[in-house]
Structure 1
Amino acid sequence: MATLSYLPMHHDPADAAPIDIVYLWVDGNDPVWRAKRQRAAAALSAREHGAMARYGNVEGRFRDNDELRYSLRALERFFPGHGHVYLVTDGQTPAWLRPSDRLTIVDHRELLPAAALPTFDSGHIESYVHRIPGLSERYFYCNDDVFFGAPLRVEDWFYPGGAFVAWSDDAPVSDENLRPDATALENACRLSQQWLRAQTGLPAYQPVFRTFAHGPRPLRKSLLQALEVQAPEMFASVRSTVFRSWDRPAIVSDFVLRWALAQGRARLRDYVQLYVSTGEAHSTAALDRLVSAQGQVDFFCLNDTTDDAQHHDPRLARVREALQQMFPEASRFER
């Protein structure tokens, strides 16, 4: 059994610095990128095919439906005092993006070892984000399908030495072994619990089998740096993937948040949140509710689950229409 060493809580002068924003973005419609993805999938071994997570290589995971454009509009509207924006991509740049001294594109080749590329697993890529040169101590990590939905107060997301986290509204995760038919996040919860239960020095630790909210992740670079030293095997595991795998941890989406709670470096907080699965039958009604509640939802996620959709699918159009209704003003990052 390993011994968990507690991190001291202190007032970091870096807390006075602006809070940076990190996005992961991919244009799954790009034919060059699609060919690379197809070659990578064809080269997988039988074991790697068997380890691929549910929805690990589906269209909705990679499709660009203009979400990033509107997420940046939401950021500018609700958090105008944010710091630098980093956009992590695989050799791609949105056609509408305006060059800005407040935004830096970080290519996978600048962040990940050459031997790890290409990878199409966001969990793999996320595990390197805290290594971005110049990244602030406090930052928000965002997938491009999450949005701030109301004016942001920093004290609602960070406190001295820590950050606030929230549970999702998803059903609880069963306390059992990993399951290949479970979602990657459900198994990530189980993997994190297994690691934490193996540590000594956590007599008060109480496992909670729930997943974390689908929203912006308030993170501290120092916590990721410390965790990378303390749990190298977890980082190595997720950094071996080409596509998302059902038996690998999720460092940013689960492990660091649960570890920070166990360390006393994170606290639970309730937020007004909304998760919309855009492929579900009720998604239009959910989008209507979201538009009518704009400015009152702390954050929301529009998860593209329309894996069978073609470019002109009305479900995709309705998502864009809802986003345009909520965020009609172009941001400084648009041409």
Structure 2
Amino acid sequence: MNGPVDIVYLWVDGQDPAWRVRHRAAYAQWAIQHPGQLALHGNVAGRYRDNGELRYNLRALERFFPDHGHIYLVTDRQVPGWLRASNHLTVIDHRDLMPASALPVFDSAHIESYLHHIPGLAERFLYLNDDVFLGQPFEVDHWFEHGLCVYLEEAIVDLPAQLSPDVAAPGNCAVLSRNWLAARDSAYRHIPHLFAHAPRPMLVSAMQMLERQASELFAQVRSTVFRSWRAPALLPDLVPRWMVEQGLARSVVLDPLHIASGAPDAPARLAQLCAHFGSLPFFCINDTCDEAQDDDPRLLRVAAMLQQLLPQPSRFERDVSAPLAGAA
């Protein structure tokens, strides 16, 4: 437990023409074969839109956690045009991580289920969605010692008895966790909170153990191509909830700063971010503009705030004056 803490990101550029061709063809076929199974907001443009978050996420990482381990960037035949080659960062293509028979995949829940299989990944790693940023100096002991630290939102949530197409993804994830854990342990008591959009501290050995114990759930989520309400993601809820039950993690209740870019209160929350940046354990800027154009003022407002807060390029960026190559 004294080794490095590696970093894992997923990244996609939904404007890449080659990616869009693959996406359209796959969805046309999947929608016919799986009618009524698409999760809420499961295939909107905002889910795949690249707003430059990864560039700023790496800047925040270097500012607040300069002693991080190796970075792994999981992509689908794409590389950010601004990315500088580095011995400290490895791009992992879907084809190198998942079986060829499963590809292409456009469901992050499916992709996430393979992260602990990344070759060379350290025992301790931090999984970051590119819209979840560190907001203050990262204390390894806080996140990894005395049980991994996982964050619950303050709100108490009533869940349906079973998975439902009308329930948002976090709710269905919690339903899956509750029902699976309760079926395994009659003494299980479900904590009625959702897990926050937060950095996710992980252990490779724990993920291997859970994959053996919940092989049917891993097989289920690995059968998806697009996000399905019938096969909720495992990493957002089951993994931390199971780790707490196993004594591998401890939960902390916190109302984190979550900014929905399409919400009416987004300007006020961005102002709050500006006022408290540097003293936030983490924050999330979620793209909820769905089918908006890339030059939508709401998206530009977020980009301007990130540039204001994190103007210093990271070592993983090419010279900004150099021409950017297209997606590979």
- Relative to the length of structure 1, the TM-score reads 0.92
Native 8 Å contact 2:132 2:282 kept in 1 = yes
Equivalence for 2:279: 296
**How do 1:318-329 and structure 2 match up within 5 A?**
318-329=301-312
Match of 1:132 among 115, 118, 140: 118
Counterpart CA distance in 1 for 2:117 and 2:149 is 22
Q: Over residues 218-240 of structure 1, what are the superposed CA-to-partner deviations in whole Å (9 max), with x where a residue is unaligned?
A: 01111100011111000000000
Q: Which amino acid in structure 1 is aligned with residue 239 of structure 2?
A: V
Aligned mate of 1:90, from 63, 76, 92: 76
- Please list the CA deviations of residues 269-313 of structure 1 after superposition, one character each: whole Å capped at 9, or x if unmatched: 245721111111111111111011110111011110111311211
Any idea what SS the aligned residue of 1:251 has? coil
Deviations 1:149-191 (A, max 9, x none): 001111111115x311111255514242211111122111001
Residue number among 175, 186, 197 corresponding to 2:182 in the alignment: 197
Task: Say how many residue pairs are matched.
Answer: 318
Tell me by how many angstroms 1:250 deviates: 1.7
Counterpart CA distance in 1 for 2:259 and 2:232 is 24
Residue 224 in structure 1 maps to residue 207 in structure 2? yes
Residue from 28, 34, 40 that aligns with 2:26: 40
Pair 1:52-2:38 in alignment = yes
Does 1:249 find its partner at 2:249?
Answer: no
CA distance in 1, matches of 2:172, 2:136: 31
Distance 2:17 2:33 in 1: 27
Q: How far apart are residue 255 of structure 1 and its match?
A: 1.1
Partner of 2:107: 121
What do the CA deviations read for 1:87-142 (whole angstroms, capped 9, x no partner)? 00001000000000000000000001011111110000000000001101110001
Q: Which stretch shifts more, 284-293 or 88-97?
A: 284-293
Moved more, 40-49 or 190-199: 40-49
8 Å contact 1:272–1:296 — kept in the other structure? no
Q: Of 26, 30, 41, which residue of structure 1 is paired with 2:12?
A: 26
Answering whether residue 133 of structure 2 is matched by residue 150 of structure 1, we say no
User: Unpaired runs of 5+ in structure 1?
Assistant: 1-14
Q: Contact (CA 8 Å) 2:259, 2:286: kept in 1 or not?
A: yes
- Do the aligned partners of residues 170 and 30 (structure 1) sit closer, same or farther apart at CA in structure 2, a change above 3 Å counting? farther
Query: Do the aligned partners of 1:165 and 1:218 also contact (CA within 8 Å) in 2?
Result: yes
Amino acid corresponding to residue 58 of structure 1 in structure 2: V
Letter in 2 for 1:245: S
2-side partners of 1:80 and 1:170: how far apart?
A: 33
Distance 2:286 2:148 in 1: 24
Q: Which residue of 2 aligns with 1:5?
A: none
1:177 pairs with 2:162: yes
- Letter of the 2:291 counterpart: D
What TM-score, normalized to structure 2? 0.94
Structure 2 residue runs without a partner (length 5+): 319-328
Contact 1:272–1:299 (CA under 8 A) maintained in structure 2: no
The question of whether the paired residues in 1 share the 8 Å contact of 2:61 and 2:134 is answered with yes
Contact 1:175 1:209 in 2 (8 A): no
Q: In percent, how many aligned pairs have the same letter?
A: 53
Decide whether the 8 Å contact of 1:192 with 1:249 is kept in 2. Answer: no
Tell me which residue corresponds to 1:165.
150
Q: Is the 8 A contact 1:190 1:209 kept in 2?
A: no
Cα shift at 1:248: 1.2
User: What displacement does 1:18 show?
Assistant: 1.0
1:234 aligns with 2:220: no
Question: C-alpha separation between the residues in 2 aligned to 1:269 and 1:16?
Answer: 23
